A and B are shown apart, each in its own frame.
Chain A
Amino acid sequence: MTTARASRGSAVVMTLYLLFLLVPIYWLVNMSLKTNAEITGTFSLWPQNPTLRNFRVILTDPSWYMGYINSLIYVVMNTVLSLAVALPAAYAFSRYRFLGDKHLFFWLLTNRMAPPAVFALPFFQLYSAVGLFDTHIAVALAHCLFNVPLAVWILEGFMSGVPREIDETAYIDGYSFPRFFTRIFMPLIASGIGVAAFFCFMFSWVELLLSRTLTSVNAKPIAATMTRTVSASGLDWGVLAAAGVLTILPGALVIWFVRNYIAKGFALGRV
């Protein structure tokens, strides 16, 4: 009986907490389906005349939808780049001891923890100097600052769960390192690679300070497009809300697949 009461208590707590989480998001979705006249004129808990006008504005105006395309381009570039360099490095950290390994691993962590604000100005100067300012690759490289360490740590966490006997058996069977790594090892840690890719994607997608500092027109991310609208005089709340809703979608779509690894990913592969 006490357990029945306890579980009912838990259900109440969880319902309240989820309401607290979802109501602000609902409010954004709600706004995105209203006209501006309805947003500022009347106060209603749900759209009285639901309209897709705001989404239509974004999907037909290049200055809006190019923001999404720019963001997607550098996020994908960054994810591929981060994983490509992190995979062999994570293998080295998980399987061998070598000169300075612990220091290197720690140094990577400090970059994950570094405040982007510290790097904003030097990045701006560095990428301007090498002529990469306002290109997708500049943002992709800048985000490597925190995503490469993240990927190395997460992958190392997953790889250390694979027994080393597998490597040794494969080498005895005559596999070369590249063949072993791509044919046997990578399929074994496929879920780890997926999780690392998801988190690289996510952290690059949510970042604003660096991507805004390093771009002006050609590679301007959606996040920067949104802030610029906020500071403009005539506020288009509906379009702003619709833009926000569209930025939530990529995460919301894939989250189901990584649900059991969310904690592990955020804790850098250590849980």
Chain B
Amino acid sequence: MDKPVNNRAWFLVLPVLVLVAFSAVIPLMTVVNYSVQDTFGNNQFFWNGLGWFQEVLESDRIHAALGRQLLFSAIILAIEIPLGIFIALNMPKRGFWASLVLVLMALPLLIPWNVVGTIWQVFGRVDIGLLGHTLAALGIDYNYVNDPVDAWATIIVMDVWHWTSLVALLCYAGLQSIPDAYYQAARIDQASRWGVFRYIELPKMSGVLLIAVLLRFMDSFMIYTEPFVVTGGGPGNATTFLSIDLVKMAIGQFDLGPAAAFSLIYFLVILLISWVFYTVMTAQRDRT
């Protein structure tokens, strides 16, 4: 599609530019500012070059948080993507049931993130939660407050509960766009169920699936509120992910320099993934 070139369109974009510049660029500049300076207090700052970046890149604490973050995101993707596809394949195709299922599935997506945390915090408690109580009744030693493995399991199940529907809904949208003729052709060829999935459904879903993978990766990579409410990053540091660690450093300890350097590195990683995301999205647009 050829769009006309018109540089006056800039006037239409200007309000967005001003607003987002105020809410993104100015704060980011403060971060850059802090990341290269050190202070003795009293608001006296001096140039520290790349010292903070070096410190952050060599810090064991941040390496550990990054390791946990990557492991978390990997587990989330490994569970939610296949499960989401599976659910999408089983969703009713049309009619009242399709609408109802759609609405019920979307419910967890619309719950405030701290309430998601609260729900699972309560649900998992051995004394008053259905999950914790049931597990204890089955003789399973489960305590997400003291046991790192249980804490991880709780947070992963919570995230699966929270976001699998998003993957499923995206895949469902992809499946809906497959014309019936494809399935009829497959039936004439006596294709197996697996064959239909592998050669018709999966290729047609690949576009939305890529979006789902990227969105889930980004959001799990920045997760903060839900684990913060459930475990507060504990026991110990077992569930301290990057964002939790960063907030602890910046607001809890007020270590502005390292926190700023950490922020910028974090932001660069996000920028890189955003670029992949953008390339995928626009390439897809051009293809259709």
Chain B's closest residue to A86 (CB) is: B16
Residue in contact with A251 in the complex, picked from B111, B215, B224, B229, CB distance below 8 Å: B111
A255-B107 contact given A96-B9, A121-B251, A230-B229, CB 8 Å threshold: yes
Question: Cβ of A184 < 8 Å from any Cβ of B?
Answer: no
**A residues in contact with B184, CB < 8 Å:** none
Complex Cα gap A78–B273 (Å): 27
Complex Cα gap A94–B171 (Å): 25
Complex Cα gap A39–B118 (Å): 15
In the complex, the answer to whether B173 meets A263 with C-beta atoms within 8 Å is yes
Residue in contact with B10 in the complex, picked from A84, A98, A108, A124, CB distance below 8 Å: A98
**A residues in contact with B277, CB < 8 Å:** 109, 113
A31-B5 contact given A263-B170, A266-B166, CB 8 Å threshold: no
**A residues in contact with B22, CB < 8 Å:** 141
Chain A's closest residue to B174 (CB) is: A271
Interface string of A136-173 (1 = CB under 8 A from B): 00000110110011001000000000000000000000
**A residues in contact with B246, CB < 8 Å:** 115, 117-118
Chain B: minimal CB distance from A192 (Å): 16
In the complex, the answer to whether B251 meets A43 with C-beta atoms within 8 Å is no
In the complex, the answer to whether B111 meets A267 with C-beta atoms within 8 Å is no
Question: Cβ of B197 < 8 Å from any Cβ of A?
Answer: no
A116-B222 contact given A248-B115, A270-B285, CB 8 Å threshold: yes
**B residues in contact with A208, CB < 8 Å:** 112-114, 225
In the complex, the answer to whether A23 meets B130 with C-beta atoms within 8 Å is yes
Question: Cβ of A262 < 8 Å from any Cβ of B?
Answer: yes
Residue in contact with B267 in the complex, picked from A85, A114, A121, A247, CB distance below 8 Å: A114
Residue in contact with B169 in the complex, picked from A81, A88, A266, CB distance below 8 Å: A266
Chain A: minimal CB distance from B77 (Å): 16
Residue in contact with A148 in the complex, picked from B20, B166, B218, CB distance below 8 Å: B20
Complex Cα gap A209–B104 (Å): 27
In the complex, the answer to whether B251 meets A85 with C-beta atoms within 8 Å is no
Complex Cα gap A106–B104 (Å): 33
In the complex, the answer to whether B20 meets A149 with C-beta atoms within 8 Å is yes
Residue in contact with B17 in the complex, picked from A18, A104, A206, CB distance below 8 Å: A104
Q: A199-226: which have CB < 8 Å to B?
A: 202, 205-209, 213, 223, 226
Question: Cβ of A60 < 8 Å from any Cβ of B?
Answer: no
Question: Cβ of B270 < 8 Å from any Cβ of A?
Answer: yes
Residue in contact with A145 in the complex, picked from B12, B20, B173, CB distance below 8 Å: B20
**A residues in contact with B173, CB < 8 Å:** 263-264, 271
Binds A, one of B23-31, B47-55, B56-64, B139-147: B23-31
Number of interface residues of B (CB under 8 A): 98
Which DSSP category, helix, strand, loop or mixed, fits chain B's interface? helix
**B residues in contact with A17, CB < 8 Å:** 87, 90, 105
In the complex, the answer to whether A125 meets B274 with C-beta atoms within 8 Å is no
In the complex, the answer to whether B110 meets A85 with C-beta atoms within 8 Å is no
Which of A86, A113, A123 is most buried by chain B, counting CB atoms within 10 A of its CB?
A: A113
Complex Cα gap A120–B271 (Å): 18
Residue in contact with A91 in the complex, picked from B12, B114, B130, B208, CB distance below 8 Å: B12
Residue in contact with B278 in the complex, picked from A88, A109, A114, A115, CB distance below 8 Å: A109
In the complex, the answer to whether A262 meets B102 with C-beta atoms within 8 Å is yes
In the complex, the answer to whether A98 meets B6 with C-beta atoms within 8 Å is yes
Question: Cβ of B120 < 8 Å from any Cβ of A?
Answer: yes
Taking A118-B267, A122-B26 as given, write out 8 further A-B residue pairs in contact, using a Cβ cutoff of 8 Å, ordered by the A residue number. Answer: A88-B15, A92-B9, A122-B30, A230-B118, A241-B118, A248-B110, A259-B102, A263-B173
Chain B residues in contact with chain A, CB under 8 A? 3-10, 12-13, 15-17, 19-20, 22-24, 26-28, 30-31, 86-87, 89-92, 99, 101-115, 118-123, 127-131, 133, 161, 165-166, 169-170, 172-174, 208, 211-212, 215, 218, 221-222, 224-225, 229, 242-244, 246-247, 250-251, 256, 259, 263, 266-267, 270-271, 273-275, 277-278, 281-282, 284-285
Q: Which 9 A-B pairs have the closest CB atoms?
A: A251-B110, A122-B27, A117-B243, A92-B12, A92-B9, A88-B12, A96-B9, A85-B15, A115-B222
Chain A residues in contact with chain B, CB under 8 A? 9-10, 13-14, 17-18, 20-25, 27-28, 31, 39-40, 43, 45, 81, 84-86, 88-89, 91-93, 95-99, 101-102, 104-106, 108-111, 113-126, 141-142, 144-145, 148-149, 152, 202, 205-209, 213, 223, 226-227, 230, 237, 240-241, 244, 247-248, 251-252, 255-256, 259-260, 262-264, 266-268, 270-271
Sample 18 A-B pairs with CB under 8 A, ordered by A number. A13-B86, A14-B101, A45-B130, A89-B12, A95-B9, A102-B282, A110-B270, A118-B266, A145-B23, A208-B114, A223-B114, A230-B121, A240-B118, A241-B118, A252-B107, A255-B106, A262-B102, A262-B169
